[in-house]
Amino acid sequence: MAPSNAALHEQARRFVTDVLGGRHALSRLIPIALWLGDAVLCGLIIWKIPYTEIDWVAYMEQVSQFVSGERDYTKMQGGTGPLVYPAAHVYTYTGLYYLTNEGKNILLAQQLFAVLYMATLAVVMLCYWQAKVPPYIFPLLILSKRLHSVFVLRCFNDCFAAFFLWLAIFCFQKRQWTLGSIAYSWGLGIKMSLLLSLPAVVVVLFLGRGFGGSLRLASLMGQLQLAVAIPFLATNWRGYLGRAFELSRQFKFEWTVNWRMLGEQVFLSKQFATTLLVLHASVLLMFITARWLQPADRSLPSLVAPMLRGKTPFSSKTEEMRVSSRVTPEYVMTTILSANVIGLLFARSLHYQFYAYLAWATPYLLWTAWPDAPVTYLLWGIQEAAWNVFPSTDISSTAVVNVLVITVAAVFFGAPRPVVKSGPRRGGVKEPGKIR
């Protein structure tokens, strides 16, 4: 607070700085005000901007076949092609099928997706608040033109997947491991794009719940995937696995957002795909060994060797609890979001709806490395502008990839580490992500 005898303008400046920096009681009102303002904006978008048909009709056509009794994934088709999403997608859109008069009431569908958008935004804001992100970052959560388009003008299934990803992050931040695992598994069952975050989810659960606990949660997630897929597996298990989790799918150059600047010949080549896969695995390994395993304060080989023998790598329950205590809300969010962005960086092709996984992740990851607002706002603005270019160009795709590279590098080199090697605070835990 500014001294009482300070000049009026100095008191005003200090007041604004304290509110935006999260050091004033009014700071808590900023996310609420932004959320309410965005609710009004969603209503205006639905009212004023025409709906754009892309996949909704195809979703409804595929669901109508399911409702009619079809259980063979290889026979479920829509206007845009075969059904290529896991079983939770079918169940989720079956609910929308009935709510929207078999998909005919597009306006109601948009309104339902606006509710989904607002629910996701609320969870995102809660995650940010748990991670001690200052209010001056929060405006970036509501300013994306492309994100509003993905949710309320296109009704993509990525919107549901993103909601459950953020719900899982929030549950893990609150140490609700079972609920978080169920939320993540359901989101993965809607679209396998959430596989990009799986390595980080595994690490978070291992450090947060220990070896035995994490195995039980992994089993729970697998059982959920199996349970929802039983009708399709019983009919044609090869067809279900081949379509719902197809990893060899060919990508069309015309729709790519990220690698257009390389040209179609390079984009479609097997050498390029292999290079991306190797780089993805290499960067993940770097993050796992140098960043994500910091709460354990142990090397990767020393952790893996006992687990291969079916034993916990921790010497005692006390050590396991100490490691778990270092799995803070900041650590959970940084780890899972960085895995997601690494995956997006090395993805063969990003389509516009993939922005649902990126738009809300970038502000946080940039802030962890650069708490100064101008840098975060500048890079976010470049990213947003690039994702709003349609169709993508060499310049826009270069911008998309470069911002992803900068974000990944910034997190690796600049984000606070959860364990301090020298001069540790009480319990050896650093306070990452605090307001600076």
Q: Which of 306, 326, 319, 310 is nearest to 203 (CA)?
A: 326
Would you state the pLDDT for residue 3?
A: 55
Flag whether pLDDT at 384 surpasses 90.
Answer: yes
Query: What is the rounded average pLDDT for all residues in the chain?
Result: 91
What stretch of H or E contains 161? helix 158-173
* Low-confidence winner among 218-222, 320-324, 384-388 (lowest mean pLDDT): 320-324
**Confidence band for 234, pLDDT divided at 50, 70 and 90:** very high
* Strand residues in 204-321 grouped as ranges (E): none
Q: Is the model more confident about 248 or about 39?
A: 39
What is the residue extent of each domain of the chain?
Answer: 29-414
Across 384-397, average pLDDT: 96
Would you state the pLDDT for residue 254?
A: 81
Flag whether pLDDT at 424 surpasses 70.
Answer: no
Q: Which residues contact 32 (CB under 8 A, 6 or more apart)?
A: none
Across 230-257, average pLDDT: 85
**Confidence band for 371, pLDDT divided at 50, 70 and 90:** confident
Instruction: Look up residue 93 and give its two tokens.
Output: 């859109």
Within 13 Å and on the Cβ side, how many CA atoms surround 157? 29
Flag whether pLDDT at 248 surpasses 80.
Answer: no
Flag whether pLDDT at 2 surpasses 70.
Answer: no
Instruction: Look up residue 392 and give its two tokens.
Output: 């993508």
* Low-confidence winner among 1-5, 274-278, 322-326 (lowest mean pLDDT): 1-5
Would you state the pLDDT for residue 5?
A: 65
Flag whether pLDDT at 68 surpasses 60.
Answer: yes
Q: Is the model more confident about 272 or about 417?
A: 272
Matching residue, tokens 């754009």:
52
Would you state the pLDDT for residue 247?
A: 67
Flag whether pLDDT at 363 surpasses 60.
Answer: yes
| Measured distance CA(431)–CA(324) in Å, rounded | 15
Instruction: Look up residue 186 and give its two tokens.
Output: 């359901």
Matching residue, tokens 């009102």:
29
Angle of helix 198-244 relative to helix 329-345, nearest 10 degrees, comes to 40
Would you state the pLDDT for residue 370?
A: 85
**Confidence band for 4, pLDDT divided at 50, 70 and 90:** low
**Digit-coded pLDDT (tens) for 114-161:** 999 999 999 999 999 999 999 999 999 999 999 999 999 999 999 999
Flag whether pLDDT at 339 surpasses 90.
Answer: yes
What's the pTM?
0.92
Flag whether pLDDT at 417 surpasses 70.
Answer: no
Beta-bridge partners for 81: 78
Across 270-291, average pLDDT: 95
For the chain, the farthest-separated pair of C-alpha atoms sits apart, in whole angstroms, at 79
